[in-house]
């Protein structure tokens, strides 16, 4: 567990939660993410757009990564996501050397954050009740859509 | 090693090579990919668009995956790529249960294809001279751009 200031982690999570809520309001899958620079600057944020754009490649983390544009290095950056990152998004974090991942919750889905920790990525797992409630409710109402999004 | 018909593998690779050439002609990074269905239908193809779109999230494999649109299942599908898939693209293959990956070459870059094989993905490694030559030449002329694309 990273010793990051919990208040900062929760403040950064709020941007990802806001993205998730936007996605839900658009009729999409409520997962949001934000990428922060080493100095705490917000570089980009986004949400899952499978439904909205008919685009299976836009997960919340890849949307935030894209929104941040080209970066010479991801050293010191933090990916904040409302949900434990799937293998696709975990692979993104590992390949580009993103230093830290703040995970809203890993109760409704357990992705690759343990694997990332094994490979030196700092993980801050918040177990946020709002994130859990939003995904639990969504999965219960939309099981087929959720399974499609994680390839199951 | 998968016992796939080598002639079919090379025929499918040609679509990915064609994408890579298109990317190179556009001034981009020459990596191409194509996703084939279980019945051999071409579902989507694409190429790296970091330079063209200023989009670091569009690797060849994610472009082909996006072009294929939403699919209920990837069982039996094959991702063909001119270059060994990076962790990001390997994660994509694993998460969505893509069954097979045809790799043009793994000489200029060794990504996650061994990891995918460990997790049950069938790997066909072709060691294609044209793929090697195209990437070798590109990396020699554009080392900074290449390092940016793989987060190094």
- In a mutational test of the B interface, the residue from A53, A96, A142 whose CB has the highest number of chain B CBs within 10 Å is A96
In this structure, are residues B88 and B59 in contact, taking their beta carbons and an 8 Å threshold?
yes
* Option in B57, B73, B87 nearest A65 (CB): B57
Report d(CA B1, CA B34) in Å as an integer: 20
Q: What is the ipTM of this complex?
A: 0.96
The Cα B48–Cα A57 span in angstroms is 14
| Structure tokens given for A61 | 């983390």
Coil, strand or helix: which one is A32?
Answer: strand
Measured CB to CB, residues of chain A less than 8 Å from chain B are 50, 54-58, 62, 65-66, 68-74, 86-92, 94-97, 112, 148, 150-152
pLDDT in tens, A74-96: 999 999 999 999 999 999 999 99
Closest residue on chain A to B99 (Cα): A151
d(CA A131, CA B55): 28
For β-strands A78-81 and A100-103, DSSP reports them as parallel
> How much is the pTM?
0.96
Task: Please say whether the dihedral angle defined by the alpha carbons of residues A88, A90, A91 and A92, taken in this order, is positive or negative.
Answer: positive
- CB distance B74–A148 less than 8 Å? no
Check A11, A61, A140, A152 and give the catalytic one: A61
Per-residue pLDDT at B135: 98
pLDDT, tens digit, 9 for 90 and up, residues A108-133: 999 999 999 999 999 999 999 999 99
The three-state secondary structure class of B101 is strand
By the 8 A CB rule, do A36 and A65 touch? no
Q: Give me the pLDDT at residue A146, please.
A: 96
CA distance A143 to chain B (A): 13
Q: For strands B32-36 and B78-81, give the pairing.
A: antiparallel
pLDDT at B1: 46
Q: What is the rounded CA–CA span in Å between residue B116 and residue B101?
A: 9
Mutate to test the interface with A, among B28, B88, B143, B152 (most CBs of A within 10 A): B88
A80 SS3 class: strand
Asked if pLDDT for residue A1 goes beyond 80, the answer is no
The candidate with the shortest Cα–Cα distance to A86, out of A62, A66, A70, is A62
A83/A60 Cα distance (integer angstroms): 9
């Amino acid at each position: 567990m990273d010793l990051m200031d919990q208040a900062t982690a929760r403040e950064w999570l709020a941007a990802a939660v806001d993205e998730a809520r936007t996605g839900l309001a658009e009729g999409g899958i409520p997962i949001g993410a934000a990428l922060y620079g080493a100095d705490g600057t917000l570089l980009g944020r986004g949400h899952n757009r499978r439904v909205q754009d008919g685009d299976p490649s836009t997960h919340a983390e890849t949307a935030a990564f894209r929104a941040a544009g080209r970066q010479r290095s991801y050293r010191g950056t933090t990916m904040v996501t409302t949900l434990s990152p799937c293998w696709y998004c975990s692979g993104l974090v590992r390949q580009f050397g993103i230093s830290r991942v703040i995970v809203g919750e890993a109760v409704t889905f357990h992705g690759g954050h343990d694997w990332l920790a094994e490979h030196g990525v700092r993980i801050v797992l918040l177990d946020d009740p709002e994130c859990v409630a939003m995904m639990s409710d969504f999965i219960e109402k939309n099981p087929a859509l959720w399974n499609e999004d994680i390839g199951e």
